[in-house]
Amino acid sequence: MRILQINKLFNMLGNFQTNHRAGILIAVILFTLLAGAGILRFEFSFTNDGWFLEGDAAKVNAEKFRKHFGNDASVVMLVTAPSVRDSAIMEMRDTLSRYMLSNIPFAKEIHTIENSKGTEALLHLSLERYSDPANDAAKIGRAVADLLERPEFQSDRWDLNAGGEPYLEVSKNDSSMPQAARSVVIGVFIMIFCLAFFTRNKYGVMIPFMATAFAMASVFGICGWLGVKPNFTLFTLPMMLGMALSVGYSIHYINSFKQAYQRLNDRKPALVEAVTETGWPIFFTVMTTVASMLSFLFVDMPVLKIVGSICAAMVFAVYLYVIILVPILYSYGPQSRKTPKPRDERLENFLEKLGTKALNFKFPIVLISIVIAVVSAIGCKDLKVNMDYVEMFGTKLPFVERLVKLMNSELANVYSYNIMVDTGEPDAFKNPENMLAMDSASADLSSLPLTKISEGKARVMIGGVTDDFSMAYIHVELKEWNSKQVDIDIDSAQTLVRKYFPKADVGVEGYAVEQSSMNNKLVEGEIKSVCISFVVIALLLIASFMSIKTGLIGMIPNVAPILVIGGVMGACAFSMDMMTMMVIPMAIGIAVDDTIHFVNHSKLCFERCGNYRESILATFRDVGKSMVSTTIILCMMFLAYMVSPVTIFFRVGLMATIGLVTALVADFTITPVLIMLTKPFGKETAK
């Protein structure tokens, strides 16, 4: 279908909006109130449960362990001092033990150990089974956090640090929540500033801001009605994405309206023309961004499925509110009787000159693009995934400092795993030979690279036996986190134990296993998401332009952000994690937006003039300014993450900005060159 024919449909939409604006506004307000009421039911998820599907090996083994051996979580307190046997410190340790048993929920029993130097004492609190795992763990973590703030446990004479999964998760959330909130608040101010700067009009600020607020209220309200609980750490992404795209979509409409109003000096016809000219490319960019976000539905991690779906819903909701509210509310503005001031066309003139340069240096641009792609691909080879909290959150946060102290201590640890041996035979572990086999297996596990060694002894022990003596497990503590080596150690541990129990069912579980499993899922998920995003968007482009050649031309420049982001991360040794893995599919979806605007307008101009060079230069003049504006706005929104001391937030902001800038540069260089070289719109009819 020709672009001119598609635009006629949006012309009808623009006329319908302006002719029935009151009724449409009432319907929008009623829907928003109904959907937004669900915010009262909206909740976040703060646990790791959402990372695993039902039937996942890590989840199945964890449930099996808890069923037969009890709670695998615990709380530890590490006391460090020149002498932990000092009378005052011994008195504090006794008080601390009593307090932990009486005030920490699900407390079972405490075991205390000291190192031979007398500089460390570790209080290990085992826990009873949870009745409601997510809420119970949060209560325990909160109780531990409160304990650390009590004055009787604070002194210059000792250093007290806490560990254990319940406290770790609460500390992580307590540290990331204010940082995430600050990024969103900064994003709001950036949004207002960008709207004011680029529209220079109070309506240009208020209307898009209202559209964004309504979209967020509707999406999060519907989540509340449906009982969908997004992970808090990832929750800022749909908010920042929604604000950024709302500004971008609004500016495309408003700039088009201003250009039409400049010529027509009549508000309603100018608004209808703006909807006509920008309706299709904006709608199509929305579809590609939604498709890239929905690619996370194919990732075997529920938390990413939820966040991807919310991002997709946010993008579509923002689009609907912008396309409805901006034209309708602008139509209520006063009709100017003054002759419009001449527009400042310096940027348009500069962009047209840039287009001329690009067309005059076609082959050097192609060569440079190939070199950059090859160099970036080489950098991508060093890309790795690592869910280590120290690298993810950075050492500037207090809770990470505590983790580092625990890992560097002789007695404490952060990561561990349990190897279960299920013989299926009652009384099997009453047999001395089987117990000797467990001792031998424990000795073999001591030699694994990541097994923690304290004072010459491996932190490996037989943890317990079930009441019927059919099952037993070995507990292994790790000295540090290394995502690649952890996988190797866990696989080797199972192999070693199976050597002694070839007929038994051997399984692993524990905090280290969960983190390792998440690492592997992130790798698989990233590959799936990128491939699906790329294929779906390519198919959409081909279907939209009714041409394989045009669709593929639209995709080629958008390989650039993927390669450059991967290359920079690999070269800088930035690991992929739960947030940064969303950047590449998101960058594909957003970056292709400008390509669609460029290719669509070039095709539209070609249908009018029949000359490739003229149509490309006209595109630089007509939509180049909006492309620059929206890219600047998107970059500024994501740069709000970079003021945070949290490493994952900083990297998301940096990588998203690099990807967006790369996409714009590619659209202003390689895209016009490819159009000129391949001539995808047909033969020229004019010279």
Structure tokens at 633: 């706005």
CA-CA distance, 470 to 426, in Å (whole number)?
5
Mean pLDDT, the chain, as a whole number?
86
Residue 544 pLDDT more than 80?
no
Instruction: Indicate whether 530 belongs to any domain.
Output: no
Residue 96: its pLDDT value, please?
95
Tally of residues, the chain: 687
Residue finishing a domain among 500, 516, 532: 516
Task: Report yes or no: 253 and 204 within 8 Å, Cβ to Cβ.
Answer: no
Residues 507 and 635 in one domain: no
Residue 338 pLDDT more than 60?
no
CA-CA distance, 415 to 403, in Å (whole number)?
10
Residues 668 and 608 in one domain: yes
Name residues whose C-beta falls within 8 Å of residue 492's C-beta, 6 or more positions apart in sequence: 448
**Measured at the alpha carbon of residue 95, what is the angle toward residues 94 and 98, in degrees to the nearest 5?**
85
Ramachandran area for residue 265 (φ above 0: left; ψ -120 to 50: alpha; else beta): left
Provide, for the chain, the percentages of residues in helix, strand and coil under a 3-state DSSP scheme, each rounded to the nearest 5: 70, 10, 20
Report the CATH number at residue 420.
Answer: 3.30.70.260
Residues 367 and 404 in one domain: no
Residue 623: its pLDDT value, please?
84
Instruction: Indicate whether 523 belongs to any domain.
Output: no
Confidence band of 252 (pLDDT split at 50, 70, 90): confident
Instruction: Indicate whether 528 belongs to any domain.
Output: no
Instruction: Indicate whether 510 belongs to any domain.
Output: yes
Residue finishing a domain among 516, 538, 556: 516
Instruction: Indicate whether 81 belongs to any domain.
Output: yes
Q: Is 667 exposed, middle or buried (0-12, 13-18, 19+ CB in 10 A)?
A: buried
Tell me what the mean pLDDT of segment 407-434 comes to: 93
Residues 223 and 330 in one domain: yes
Residue 418 pLDDT more than 70?
yes
Highest mean pLDDT (candidates 324-338, 464-478, 537-551, 606-620): 464-478
Residue finishing a domain among 171, 187, 216: 171
First CA to last CA across the chain, in angstroms? Answer: 25
If DSSP states are collapsed to H, E and C, what string results for 151-217?
HHHCCCCCEEEEECHHHHHHHHHHHHHHHHHHHHHHHHHHHHHHHHHHHCCHHHHHHHHHHHHHHHH
Three-state secondary-structure class, residue 458? strand
Residues 71 and 165 in one domain: yes
Name residues whose C-beta falls within 8 Å of residue 51's C-beta, 6 or more positions apart in sequence: 301, 302, 303, 514, 517, 518, 521
- Largest distance between two CA atoms of the chain: 100
Task: Report yes or no: 547 and 327 within 8 Å, Cβ to Cβ.
Answer: no
Task: Please report, for residues 368, 380, 494, the alpha-carbon distance to residue 377 in angstroms, rounded to integers and kept in the order given.
Answer: 14, 5, 36
pLDDT tens-digit readout, 133-192: 778 888 999 999 999 999 999 999 999 999 988 898 888 878 878 888 888 888 888 888
- What does the buried/exposed string (b/e) look like for 470-486 if buried means 16 or more CB atoms within 10 Å of the residue's CB? bbbbbbbbbbbbbbeeb
Q: Nearest Cα to 491, choosing from 597, 395, 417, 391?
A: 417
Residues 88 and 214 in one domain: no
pLDDT tens-digit readout, 276-319: 888 887 888 888 888 888 888 887 778 888 888 999 999 999 99
Task: Report yes or no: 48 and 128 within 8 Å, Cβ to Cβ.
Answer: no
Task: Report yes or no: 410 and 454 within 8 Å, Cβ to Cβ.
Answer: yes
CB atoms within 10 A of CB 59: 18
Residues 212 and 331 in one domain: yes
Report the CATH number at residue 595.
Answer: 1.20.1640.10
Beta-bridge partners for 471: 422
Beta-bridge partners for 121: 79, 114
DSSP label at 387? -
Give the domain range for residue 62: 55-171
Tell me what the mean pLDDT of segment 450-455 comes to: 91
> Looking up tokens 């150690």, which residue turns up?
489
CB atoms within 10 A of CB 678: 13
Residues 487 and 433 in one domain: yes
Identity of the residue numbered 256: S
Confidence band of 47 (pLDDT split at 50, 70, 90): low
Strands 74-80 and 120-127: antiparallel
CA-CA distance, 434 to 424, in Å (whole number)?
13
Percentage of the chain surpassing pLDDT 70?
A: 96
Task: Report yes or no: 525 and 299 within 8 Å, Cβ to Cβ.
Answer: yes
pTM beyond 0.75: the answer is yes
Q: Nearest Cα to 73, choosing from 517, 511, 518?
A: 511
Residues 333 and 367 in one domain: no
Residue 550: its pLDDT value, please?
81
Residues 9 and 119 in one domain: no
Instruction: Indicate whether 531 belongs to any domain.
Output: no
CA-CA distance, 390 to 70, in Å (whole number)?
29
Q: Is 61 exposed, middle or buried (0-12, 13-18, 19+ CB in 10 A)?
A: buried
pLDDT top residue among 588 and 158: 158
Residues 684 and 551 in one domain: yes
Residue 595 pLDDT more than 60?
yes
Instruction: Indicate whether 529 belongs to any domain.
Output: no
Residues 261 and 165 in one domain: no
Identity of the residue numbered 508: V
Counted domains in the chain: 4
